[in-house]
């Protein structure tokens, strides 16, 4: 797990060996990159490309979206430096492009450089929404999910953040091409204040 100043969130991990060269980690801190990933369809495209390189036609079929719409999203992601053309193929008189990710692991940097509309937990909330959508689409029940609401000291918060980072790194290291794909969605954040205690509490 790469550690820099600011709170880091894993976006996605490649779960198999791909047939093209790519970096291990990309620190996503450019506002253009953050805005690109904050859109649901583009986040889904980046997620699909963790499996293999794909053409616009293949991505459109997986997303059940028009090719023109998917092509637009790919242009935005390519301009942001998040995906790139990794190979081409001749189909009749046309050249079909295959897109791949630029890195196995995307790490989002949360600090003052983040666009205003993505601050205050908005980007993390979007990522958790994507994870929830994947969980619902999988149709599987899981006992390893839920929300835990506790009061922590600053030292305990740092300790749990470090443990979460170690868990993500451990999962990344356990990646096995022969296994089934799994997704870990997580966030540790300060909750809004609750109701004050009643007079008779």
Q: What's the whole-number mean pLDDT along residues 117-145?
A: 65
Q: What's the whole-number mean pLDDT along residues 64-71?
A: 94
In a domain, 83, yes or no: yes
Any idea which of 64-73, 137-146, 157-166, 176-185 has the lowest mean pLDDT? 137-146
CA angle 167, 169, 174 (to 5 degrees): 95
Q: What's the whole-number mean pLDDT along residues 25-44?
A: 83
In a domain, 189, yes or no: no
In a domain, 35, yes or no: yes
Cα 195 from Cα 201, distance rounded (Å) = 12
pLDDT at site 5 = 39
pLDDT at 122 over 90: no
Average pLDDT, the chain: 77
Give me the number of domains the chain comprises.
1
In a domain, 140, yes or no: no
Q: In what order do the strands lie in the sheet with 23-28?
A: 7-13, 103-110, 23-28
C-beta neighbour count of 182 within 10 angstroms: 13
In a domain, 48, yes or no: yes
Q: What's the whole-number mean pLDDT along residues 56-62?
A: 92
Q: Model confidence at 72, in pLDDT bands (50, 70, 90)? A: very high
In a domain, 127, yes or no: no
List the CATH number of the domain containing 66.
Answer: 1.10.10.10
Q: What's the whole-model pTM score? A: 0.61
pLDDT at site 181 = 74
In a domain, 93, yes or no: yes
| CA distances (Å), origin 191, targets 82, 112, 122, 136, 151 | 32, 20, 14, 25, 9
DSSP per-residue letters across 129-189: HHHHHHHHHHT---SS---------HHHHHHHHHHHHHHHHHHHHT--TTS----------
Question: Could you tell me which residues are beta bridge partners of residue 25?
Answer: 105
In a domain, 191, yes or no: no
CA angle 49, 93, 83 (to 5 degrees): 20
pLDDT at site 176 = 82
| Residue range 147-176, pLDDT digits in tens | 777 888 989 988 988 898 888 888 878 888
pLDDT at site 15 = 46
Which residue range forms the structural domain that includes residue 53?
7-119
């Amino acid at each position: 797990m790469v550690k820099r100043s600011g709170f880091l969130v894993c976006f996605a991990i490649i779960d198999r060996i791909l047939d093209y060269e790519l970096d291990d980690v990309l620190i996503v801190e450019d506002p253009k990159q953050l805005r690109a990933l904050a859109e649901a369809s583009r986040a889904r495209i980046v997620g699909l490309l963790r499996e293999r390189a794909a053409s616009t036609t293949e991505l459109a079929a997986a997303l059940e979206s028009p090719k023109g719409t998917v092509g637009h999203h790919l242009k935005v992601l390519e301009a942001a430096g998040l995906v790139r053309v990794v190979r081409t193929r001749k189909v009749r008189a046309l050249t079909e492009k295959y897109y791949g990710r630029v890195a196995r692991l995307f790490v989002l940097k949360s600090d003052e450089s983040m666009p205003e509309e993505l601050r205050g937990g908005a980007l993390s909330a979007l990522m958790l929404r994507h994870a929830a959508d994947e969980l619902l689409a999988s149709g599987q029940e899981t006992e390893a999910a839920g929300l835990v609401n506790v009061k922590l000291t600053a030292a305990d918060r740092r300790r749990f953040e470090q443990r979460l980072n170690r868990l993500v790194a451990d999962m990344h290291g356990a990646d096995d091409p022969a296994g089934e794909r799994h997704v870990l969605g997580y966030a540790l954040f300060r909750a809004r204040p609750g109701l004050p205690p009643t007079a008779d509490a």
